[in-house]
């Protein structure tokens, strides 16, 4: 093809070789989805086009909801509420070592604690307690309320219990609102009284189980303290017995409280020897003091004048005698003043005075002897006591050596006694405190038998049916839209195929296509005129010279499109030749009334000149080349080098060469011819072309690397696009020469 070769030298894009397809980026988007993003108008059109299906699905969902509501056995839900506090109050107060609630710990996670309590409510253990309290394992009413047949009499107890527990847990609902300590317990069955009884039983058993756990948690402490108490008691008895045996062996006799308290505040224990030493030492000290005092008096009375000693002067007898002596001396002086010494009265007074003095001396001497005797007695007593103290000191020192071991044994006894007393007191406290703590769980509202059923709820079921129906509608529309690969509206050309839209040809139902094309003002003629104008600027160099018109499947309008384009370009004054390259089912000769005795197959087999097979079309600038006789192997003819030579000859003789080819699917003719032309026009029939088939056809064409100019949508009915997302919805292809109608 000379023209094609020349174009290839100027612009390889037009030659169909290498990276020359301006629409190749669009072809790459064939498998990337046809409508990226969210298009509200498309969604509205999708809903509008499937309105009947949507109504049917919603109506079916509502009908199923109503039927299910009428056929479902009414169930009654009983509700009770309880409050769970962080900790419980204890009657005896907190004690070290006493089992404490987890919530009493500083920094405890309250949310985790409350969730733990909720999990306990849902536990199998609590369900077993409820079943045992209400006797549900053998209750026919309970099984009837659960719509379950009562098990046979020979059913194993474990299997029966598991069945009851499973039904309890299956119909129990425990909820804990956020930021609240109020837990809601709900149970549903077909019997309102059964529901209320089970709900209240859950609340009561939950409290009892909580208290039981507290009591059981302290049993270990009580058992441990009891064992330690018995062990410590035996140790105390053994240590006391060892202490007594040693005291007997060492001949130690100790008394309690004989000595003052030590610095630590405890009472010292003392032996008899120690106590005797203390007492004799005190007596010796007192004897020494008495001896010193007696010695002082004796020294005072023996070293000075007798009558000058304090003991003599202070003696009452001496004082009386001295008073008498003084009186007699006074009388003697008076008598001597009047009489001589020989005078009897004077001599009598002198004798009386001498007798008084003699008495005074005698009494003073007796006093001195008495002081001397006291001194001697005090000295003897001191000596005796001092000797006894010395003896007891030795005995005490010897006893202290024996008291070292005794002290060790005594301390062991005291330690064991203290431990025993503490354990005994703690054991008494644990026994007293066990089981008397107050529960941190309280019932706020008890469950009453519900007056009305909680299910089925018609309004709720209808709302759920609407939600489910809406979900089904969305899923159905999504699946339908994904699998709906038909090309229905012009926007599908670009959206689903990734090809530019060259033109839209309306569906012609009233007249023959040839007659419609003969009328220049018919909607079909106007549509092909628009297509012709688009092709004038299809490439960077304008109108391609050699163009192939093909489609994915037969009877999509490619022959009419080829003929219309050829006639349109001929009316523009261009020399046009139209080839019918469909060597299997030729149609062009029928439109021109030719017998098809000679044509393209003749050129390819007999190598005749083009001018000998060209047929007139009735238009001055348009020449037609029919297919000619149908060959035995059309593919071999199309693939021969002769076809390229024929097209080159046609390109040299005519301004525009249009080839009407067979469909792409199932045949190799169209892809092979597409590699020899300057542009390919892809014809798609509306409401027929499937995206899968079209993609396959385009993939085959793309393998030959042609120049895909775009697609033409034929047989388009705007009325059918009314419920579709299309800019052409409601567009009217009307005759411009028709009388105007009032709007």
Residues 273-296: pLDDT tens digits?
Answer: 677 777 777 887 887 887 787 777
Domain boundaries, the chain: 2-37+487-723, 45-71+456-482, 76-225+438-445, 269-418
What is the rounded CA–CA span in Å between residue 495 and residue 30? Answer: 8
CATH fold, domain 76-225+438-445, is: Bacterial polysaccharide co-polymerase-like (3.30.1890)
Instruction: Give me the residues paired with residue 449 across strands.
Output: none
Highest mean pLDDT among 111-125, 393-407, 469-483, 624-638: 111-125
Angstrom distance (rounded) from CA 62 to CA 462: 6
Pairing of strands 182-189, 172-175: antiparallel
Q: What is the mean pLDDT of residues 114-141?
A: 91
The pLDDT of residue 230 is: 86
Name the range with the highest mean pLDDT among 149-158, 161-170, 617-626: 161-170
Within 8 A by CB and 6+ apart from 314, the residues are none
Instruction: Output phi, psi for 97, to 5 deg.
Output: 90, -10
Query: Residue range 323-335: average pLDDT?
Result: 79
Q: Which residue has the higher pLDDT, 81 or 296?
A: 81
To which H or E segment does residue 2 belong?
helix 2-10
Q: What DSSP string runs through 257-283?
A: SSS---TTSPPPEEEHHHHHHHHHHHH
Which residue is it, tokens 């001597």? 336
- Is 249 strand, coil or helix? helix
Task: Give the pairing type, strands 708-716 and 679-685.
Answer: parallel
CATH number of 2-37+487-723: 3.40.50.300
Residues 6+ apart with CB under 8 A from 45: 723, 724, 725, 726, 729
Lowest-confidence segment of 28-42, 152-166, 707-721 by average pLDDT: 28-42
What pLDDT does residue 460 have?
87
The runs of H, that is alpha helices, within 639-682 are: 641-653, 669-674
**More confident call, 455 vs 578:** 578
Tell me whether residue 207 is exposed, middle or buried, using C-beta atoms within 10 angstroms of its C-beta: 0 to 12, 13 to 18, 19 or more. Answer: middle
As a whole number, the mean pLDDT across the chain is 78
Is the fold of 2-37+487-723 the same as that of 76-225+438-445? Answer: no
What number is the average pLDDT over the span 385-413? 75
Q: Which residues, 6 or more positions from 78, have their beta carbon under 8 angstroms from its beta carbon? A: 186, 187, 188, 192, 195, 196, 198, 199, 200, 447, 448, 449, 450
* Per-residue pLDDT at 437: 59
What lies within 8 Å, CB to CB, of 586 at 6+ separation is: 580, 596, 599, 626, 627, 628, 630
Residue of 181 and 333 predicted with greater confidence = 181
Return d(Cα 167, Cα 160) in angstroms, integer: 11
Average pLDDT score over residue span 147-163: 87
Range among 26-35, 215-224, 289-298, 444-453 rated most confident: 444-453
684 within 8 A of 713, measured Cβ to Cβ: yes
Q: Is the pTM of this model over 0.95?
A: no
User: For residues 67-88, b (16+ Cβ closer than 10 Å) or e, as one string?
Assistant: eebeeeeebbbbbbbbebeebb
State how far the Cα of 394 lies from the Cα of 63, in Å rounded to an integer: 118
Q: What is the model's pLDDT at position 692?
A: 73
pLDDT tens digits, residue range 54-77? Answer: 999 999 999 998 988 888 889 899
Instruction: State CA 352 to chain mean position distance.
Output: 132
CB neighbour list of residue 386: distance below 8 Å, 6 or more residues apart: 284, 287, 288
């Amino acid at each position: 093809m000379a023209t094609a070769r020349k174009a290839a030298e100027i612009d390889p894009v037009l030659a169909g070789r290498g990276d020359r397809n301006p629409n190749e980026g669009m072809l790459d988007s064939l498998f990337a989805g046809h409508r990226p993003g969210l298009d509200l108008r498309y969604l509205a059109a999708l809903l509008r086009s499937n309105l009947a299906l949507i109504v049917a699905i919603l109506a079916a969902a509502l009908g199923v909801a109503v039927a299910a509501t009428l056929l479902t056995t009414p169930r009654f839900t009983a509700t009770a509420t309880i409050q769970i506090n962080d900790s419980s109050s204890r009657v005896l107060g907190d004690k070290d070592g006493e089992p404490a609630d987890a919530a009493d710990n500083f920094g405890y996670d309250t949310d985790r604690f409350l969730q733990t309590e909720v999990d306990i409510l849902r536990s199998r253990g609590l369900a077993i307690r409820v079943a045992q309290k209400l006797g549900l394992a053998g209750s026919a009413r309970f099984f009837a309320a659960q719509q379950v047949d009562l098990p046979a009499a020979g059913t194993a107890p474990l299997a029966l219990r598991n069945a009851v527990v499973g039904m309890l847990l299956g119909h129990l609902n425990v909820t804990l609102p956020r930021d609240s300590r109020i837990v809601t317990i709900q149970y549903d069955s077909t019997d309102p009284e059964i529901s209320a009884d089970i709900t209240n039983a859950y609340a009561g058993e939950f409290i009892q189980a909580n208290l039981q756990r507290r009591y059981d948690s302290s049993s270990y402490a009580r058992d441990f303290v009891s064992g330690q108490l018995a062990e410590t008691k035996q140790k105390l008895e053994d240590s006391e017995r060892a202490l007594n045996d040693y005291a007997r062996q060492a001949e130690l006799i100790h008394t309690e409280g004989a000595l003052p308290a030590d610095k630590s505040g405890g009472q010292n224990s003392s032996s008899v020897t120690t106590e005797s030493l203390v007492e004799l030492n005190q007596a010796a000290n007192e004897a020494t003091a008495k001896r010193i005092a007696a010695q002082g008096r004796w020294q005072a009375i023996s070293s000075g004048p007798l009558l000058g000693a304090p003991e003599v002067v202070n003696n009452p007898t001496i004082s009386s005698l001295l008073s008498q002596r003084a009186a007699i001396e006074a009388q003697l002086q008076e008598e001597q003043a009047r009489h001589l010494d020989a005078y009897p009265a004077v001599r009598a007074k002198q004798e009386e005075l001498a007798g008084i003095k003699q008495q005074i001396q005698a009494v003073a001497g007796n006093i001195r002897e008495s002081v001397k005797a006291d001194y001697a007695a005090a000295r003897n007593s001191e000596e005796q006591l001092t000797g006894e103290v010395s003896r007891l000191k030795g005995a005490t020192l010897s006893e202290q050596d024996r008291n070292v071991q005794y002290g060790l044994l005594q301390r062991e006894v005291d330690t064991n006694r203290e431990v025993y007393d503490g354990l005994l007191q703690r054991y008494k406290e644990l026994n007293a405190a066990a089981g008397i703590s107050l529960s941190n769980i309280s019932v706020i509202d008890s469950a009453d038998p519900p007056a009305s059923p909680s299910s089925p709820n018609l309004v709720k079921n209808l709302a759920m049916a609407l939600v489910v129906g809406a979900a089904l509608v969305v899923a159905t529309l999504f699946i339908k839209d994904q699998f709906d690969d038909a090309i229905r509206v012009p926007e599908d050309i670009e959206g689903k195929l990734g090809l530019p839209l060259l033109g839209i040809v309306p569906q012609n139902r009233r007249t023959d296509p040839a007659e419609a094309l003969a009328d220049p003002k018919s909607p079909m003629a106007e549509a092909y005129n628009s297509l012709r104008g688009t092709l004038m600027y299809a490439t960077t160099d304008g109108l391609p010279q050699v163009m192939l018109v093909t489609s994915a499947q037969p009877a999509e309008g490619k022959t009419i499109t080829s003929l219309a384009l050829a006639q349109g370009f001929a009316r523009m004054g261009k020399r046009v030749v139209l080839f019918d390259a469909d060597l299997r089912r030729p149609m062009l000769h029928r439109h021109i009334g030719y017998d098809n005795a000679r044509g393209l197959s003749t050129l390819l087999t007999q190598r005749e000149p083009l001018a000998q097979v060209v047929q007139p079309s009735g238009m001055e600038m348009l020449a037609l080349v029919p297919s000619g006789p149908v060959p035995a192997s059309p593919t071999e003819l199309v693939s021969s080098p002769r076809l390229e030579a024929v097209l080159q000859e046609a390109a040299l003789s005519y301004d525009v060469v249009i080839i009407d080819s067979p469909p792409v699917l199932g045949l190799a003719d169209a892809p092979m011819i597409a590699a020899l032309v300057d542009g390919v026009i892809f014809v798609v029939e509306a409401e027929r072309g499937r995206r899968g088939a079209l993609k396959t056809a385009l993939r085959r064409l793309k393998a030959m690397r042609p120049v895909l100019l775009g697609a033409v949508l034929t047989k388009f009915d705007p009325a059918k696009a009314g419920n579709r997302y299309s800019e052409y919805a409601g567009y009217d292809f009307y005759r411009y020469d028709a009388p105007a109608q009032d709007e």
